[in-house]
Amino acid sequence: MEKIKSAVIGCGGIAQVHAQVLDAMEDVEIAAFADILPQRAQRMAEKYGGRAYESLEALLGAESPQVVHLCTPHYLHTPMAKLCAGRGIHVFTEKPPVISWDQWEEFKALKDQVRVGVCFQNRYNPSVKFLRQLLDGGKPGKVLGARAFVTWHREAPYYTESGWRGSLGTEGGGVLINQSIHTLDLLVQFLGKAAEVKASMGNHHLAGTIEVEDTLEAYIDFGGPKALFYASTAYCTDSPVLVELACENGTLRMEEEEVILFWRDGSVERRSLPVDGPVEGGKSYWGHSHRLCIRDFYRCVREGAAFPNDIPGVEDTIGLMLQIYDRARG
């Protein structure tokens, strides 16, 4: 089988996870890495093979990858995806793919040019798949409402030492677009497209240090069921994400890999559904399903099949994220 040639752009923390997954895939060859800090790209190339470049443009001038992974700051995802798509290169990007409505319009235009995938890896978590199958099977009955909580911890150096986080122009926002977009995406997976939203946000923890929000709350109408959404990076630690679905016949509660089912007859079921083989170097609050998500993208590229996290597949989540910001910013 001929190997698919890949390149990784941006060699920070999350790129280590992408590279490890790609390195373990027998049908993939990592051809190159690029980073504005050349020494970071060089270290990656020495570890995983391939060549190192100081920019995407330099890499594309010398290499012919079939797939590019974008692990760069948020504001660069759309222009870099456009550059690659214009050369016929498939794109797998970290979240968020866009930071504004204008970028979203540009990003959506790529769907007919190449295959584009977004790394919403938590869709592949066994606990998430279990709940979706349970809902599809009908036992819980209709979903009446939901709540989701993300309470994590970030200190000033996380922003000030990055060179781009904490700024609206480069990060696009704070706790919603960065830390809790995966949880918002899970609400969409369980409840469908949102009809309306009310939201507010603030900076309680790092006022004067960052210009993005550290706390955000939203009341989301999913065309019947209403969801309460709360996210903050002002907590003292990184707690497990909680998603709860109140249904006609019981309440379904998920905290990462742990699922508890509270049925109306008083019975309780507990399930532990860990991901098999977590990625080395990944953080627990990222979720451990990058391997499953990335492998599925390459399967779709090779087979010409539809990828669940393609542009139409993430449209409801990205639209909801941008709508929440519109409401919260007034």
pLDDT in tens, 246-290: 999 999 999 989 999 999 999 999 999 987 765 544 555 445 689
CA angle (43, 49, 51) in 5-degree steps? 75
The residues, ordered by sequence, that sit 6+ positions from 268 with a Cβ below 8 Å of its Cβ are: 260, 261, 262
Q: What is the mean pLDDT of residues 318-324?
A: 98
**Which domains can be identified in the chain, with CATH numbers?**
4-120 (3.40.50.720), 122-270+310-329 (3.30.360.10)
| Residue carrying structure tokens 């890495």 | 33
Q: What is the mean pLDDT of residues 143-166?
A: 97
- Residue 16 confidence class, pLDDT cut points 50, 70, 90: very high
CA angle (212, 217, 222) in 5-degree steps? 125
Q: What is the pLDDT of residue 274?
A: 86
**Model pTM?**
0.96
Q: Does position 306 have pLDDT exceeding 80, yes or no?
A: yes
CA torsion, points 89, 94, 99, 101, in degrees to nearest 10?
A: 50
Closest CA to 108 of 316, 315, 328, 297: 315
CA torsion, points 203, 207, 211, 214, in degrees to nearest 10?
A: -30
Q: What is the pLDDT of residue 277?
A: 60
Q: What is the pLDDT of residue 285?
A: 45
Expressed in angstroms, the distance from the first to the final Cα of the chain is: 54
Q: In this structure, what are the phi and psi dihedrals at residue 144, rounded to the nearest 5 degrees?
A: -95, -30
Please state, rounded to an integer, the average pLDDT across all residues of the chain.
95
pLDDT in tens, 177-204: 999 999 999 999 999 999 999 999 999 9
pLDDT in tens, 53-102: 999 999 999 999 999 999 999 999 999 999 999 999 999 999 999 999 99
Q: Does position 317 have pLDDT exceeding 70, yes or no?
A: yes
Strands 215-221 and 268-272: unpaired
| Cα separation, 215 vs 250, whole angstroms | 30
- Residue 320 confidence class, pLDDT cut points 50, 70, 90: very high
How many C-beta neighbours within 10 Å does residue 137 have?
Answer: 8
| Residue carrying structure tokens 């905290």 | 255
Would you call 296 helix, strand, or coil by DSSP? helix
Instruction: Identify whether the C-beta of residue 6 lies closer than 8 Å to the C-beta of residue 65.
Output: yes
How many angstroms from the chain centroid is the CA of residue 89?
Answer: 21
Instruction: Identify whether the C-beta of residue 146 lies closer than 8 Å to the C-beta of residue 245.
Output: yes
* CA distances from residue 167 to 117, 205, 320 in whole angstroms, order as listed: 25, 15, 21
